[in-house]
Amino acid sequence: MVALVGVFGVGAVPHIVSTASAASPDLPPLTAAELLAKARTAQTTGLSGTITVDSELGLPSLSSLPGLGAAGASSLTTLLTGKHSVHVAEAGDGQVRFSTAAPLQETNWVRNGPELWSYDSGSGRVVHFSLPNETSAAGAVHTSVPDPAHETPAEFARELLDQVTPSTAVTVDAAAYIAGRPVYELVLAPHDARSTVQDVRIAVDAATGLPLDVTVTAKSNGKLAFELGFTSVSFATPDASTFSFGPPPGSTTVEASSLTEFLQGGPARHRRDRTSSTDPTAAAGPAATTSPDATPALVHAGEDWTSVVLLPAGSAPAELTALLNNVPSIAVGATHGRLLSTTLVSVLVLDDGRVAVGAVDGATLVTQVAALA
């Protein structure tokens, strides 16, 4: 499955409450087809809660790969960032807030209609962009903006469910609880032996149909390898003030000149920052006049559970390149590269700098990439 490419690691924090610690909820039985339909059509007017992500690849973070950020493959960024908790609030189209808080660092991503804001306390930098006026006569908001809402259990699960084909066995397991809510458990298992995934389990909220938790089990050891799920959730629509954002005192604000530039963290050069201040006369610098190059396109090989993604030259983070320096070079079609595999992920860096990632064994990744190289 394309959404599984480059994802997963070892270790997780399971949120599904087993029958050993709580009674199973008494839910009406549903077939796999009925539960698929329930999850695919679920809609909510708003929610807020805390999501825990646990994905430890044993590799340096790959989230800096071009095309794997918010503008690229939507699920990958979150899944490659290790272990953390994220606070999320949504109130219909166009209002989203994500925030993370480490001991010494805070990050925020806010969309309030056409206004986009991101903030990193580590750098003290705020990036702002106003979407062009593309509101239709019917009042629909701009919906083409990639955003962290795609990194929730619901969106990740929907990407998986949208790709369910005859290559996947779909069953329903015992009911359980997630974040204190009764859920059905939908199980997806690949038929293809080349996949490193034993199964994917999606916890579907019994009342709303919204997927609340996604776990992945590794085929190699039968252990839980990845989890993305709510530890707490409320379906009450958050107050409008939740999506208001003002640059913190002492921060610097950078005006992005395009959506792509915003998603890349603002202009890298030829910019003028303005310092946030409680002084209402503080000067505002002009927006940057240059736009960055477009985000590189992803190239896919294979299909279903054995899909892999190939990124252009220069995509590999320095940490990954350094890690592979002592790995022997292998033949990859007409070229060569260096391969590194973990429980669920294989990463291949070609001699020309291109990077391939897949939730497949190393031999399959090499074969798939050789056809493209």
Domain boundary assignment for the chain: 2-234, 299-372
Q: How far apart are CA 347 and CA 320, in angstroms?
A: 9
CA separation (Å) from 50 to 117, 152, 294, 331?
Answer: 20, 10, 33, 45
Q: In what order do the strands lie in the sheet with 346-350?
A: 299-301, 308-311, 355-358, 346-350, 335-341, 329-332
Bridge partners, 36 (sequence order): none
Residue 158, phi then psi, degrees to nearest 5: -65, -35
Q: How far apart are CA 134 and CA 183, in angstroms?
A: 38
CA separation (Å) from 203 to 91, 129, 189, 190?
Answer: 22, 36, 15, 18
Q: How far apart are CA 361 and CA 193, in angstroms?
A: 10
Q: What is the pLDDT at residue 6?
A: 37
CA separation (Å) from 2 to 5, 79, 145, 183?
Answer: 5, 14, 20, 26
Q: What is the pLDDT at residue 268?
A: 61
pTM for the full model? 0.77
Under-50 pLDDT residues of the chain: 2-3, 5-21, 62-81, 135-144, 146, 269-295
| CB contact at 8 A, 169 and 191 | yes
Q: How far apart are CA 15 and CA 212, in angstroms?
A: 10
Domain 2-234 homologous superfamily, CATH: Lipoprotein localisation LolA/LolB/LppX (2.50.20.10)
Residues in the chain: 373
Bridge partners, 314 (sequence order): none
CA separation (Å) from 198 to 186, 189, 242, 344?
Answer: 14, 6, 40, 10
Helix residue ranges per DSSP H, 22-165: 32-40, 76-79, 153-162
Angle 121-110-157 from CA coordinates, rounded to 5°: 110
